[in-house]
Structure 1
């Protein structure tokens, strides 16, 4: 299953920003996989923090080969040491186990998230060990398919914006200008900006702050 968007979102973004519109035309439709099960999505994102997509995929495949569907019951049947042996860190394994216990005890009810606002979900998820604002925002996109998410803490978004708009830096004010311009379809804009950051368009370079000359010897 892929993140759902179509001509309505594309037409709106192209009407608001010609630069992004040109990138959209050049890249074409983007298919990004989503996981609509909130528990497994959260576990996947905890695993994927600060590691490559390939490493995340490998660990995920090891876990699913062992326990099948990623459910709270299945995870609670594993010890922290067993989870770590799939290739994740001890800290992440402890976070995963802690979250599964919260589900089992009823302290966290995934279904309660679906009717809440984006900010409420971020606050609720950020209170869980191992989940920060960035992870919560990725869950909003790749699980709940919320349409208007633009993550200031996402480094690839910053890189893509610098490449597409030829900025050396993206401060909070400039980021907010783009967020307002892309709203209410920031998530679709994010898909294309991530693609730009991943070199989907040839000939684009990354603009970064110029290094100050070192004085002295």
Structure 2
């Protein structure tokens, strides 16, 4: 595997973005129509791993508005949202922010993993995608989808295909199958033409639906 480029600051265009756009437009007629509609817009990363994961956990299965309210309350209790602050607050105080008991436990478990260095944060940039997913999914409350969103929005990996993502499947349905339901197998078949830029194609399909996945908030 080629050595991965360092993660760019959140304000920068991912290094691969322009090349990916050009290649996708050459080989995929839907991307050729879709990509120009969004001009210079591009994926914007989030650079702090712990905060990104906390926000993704608290956002699960609730609206974006509700997640934002809980996040702001959490910042009042833990202004820096660090593992140490989360552990000091404890589950009961976290629950007062609007978190369910289970989500408070998940975030505490995440903080414990970070504090005890049971996840390899400093190595993720050099690990392949599946190894990062394995590292993350050992933490309670983090499944494959959350780990894939982390790869996309924090590590800016170019070739992630989140087959459990409702927005991706809906985007493929609308743009490739005239709104007919699609299976994971259908999605894989369509996405085979996107390699090695499946993240980029996925992002444009999200944009086509005017949807923003919760973890980028």
Q: TM-score normalized by structure 1?
A: 0.85
Q: Whole-Å Cα distance in 1 between the matches of residues 145 and 131 of structure 2? A: 14
Aligned alpha-carbon RMSD (Å): 1.9
Q: Whole-Å Cα distance in 1 between the matches of residues 85 and 59 of structure 2? A: 19
1:32 Cα offset (Å):
4.2
- Counterpart of 1:36 in 2: which secondary structure? coil
Counterpart pick for 2:198 among 186, 203, 212: 186
- Counterpart of 2:140 in 1: which secondary structure? coil
- Counterpart of 1:34 in 2: which secondary structure? coil
1:29 Cα offset (Å):
3.0
Runs (5+) with no aligned partner, structure 2 = 1-9, 213-217
CA offsets, 1:40-97, max 9 Å, x none?
Answer: 1111111111122222222222222332222111111111011121122110110000
1:154 Cα offset (Å):
0.1
Q: Aligned residue for 1:177?
A: 189
8 Å CA contact retained: 1:9, 1:185: yes
Q: Whole-Å Cα distance in 2 between the matches of residues 132 and 147 of structure 1? A: 20
Distance 1:145 1:24, change over 3 A: same
Does residue 1:105 correspond to 2:137, yes or no?
no
Structure possessing the higher radius of gyration over alpha carbons: 1
Give the alignment of 1:75-94 within 5 angstroms.
Answer: 75-94=86-105
Q: Whole-Å Cα distance in 2 between the matches of residues 108 and 176 of structure 1? A: 30
Q: Whole-Å Cα distance in 2 between the matches of residues 199 and 179 of structure 1? A: 19
Q: TM-score normalized by structure 2?
A: 0.85
Give the alignment of 1:43-58 within 5 angstroms.
Answer: 43-58=54-69
Q: Whole-Å Cα distance in 2 between the matches of residues 171 and 195 of structure 1? A: 20
8 Å CA contact retained: 1:47, 1:88: yes
Counterpart pick for 2:157 among 146, 164, 168: 146
How many equivalent pairs are there?
200
Q: Whole-Å Cα distance in 2 between the matches of residues 105 and 152 of structure 1? A: 32
1:119 Cα offset (Å):
0.9
CA offsets, 1:101-146, max 9 Å, x none?
Answer: 1222232232232221101111221121000010000000111111
Runs (5+) with no aligned partner, structure 1 = 201-217
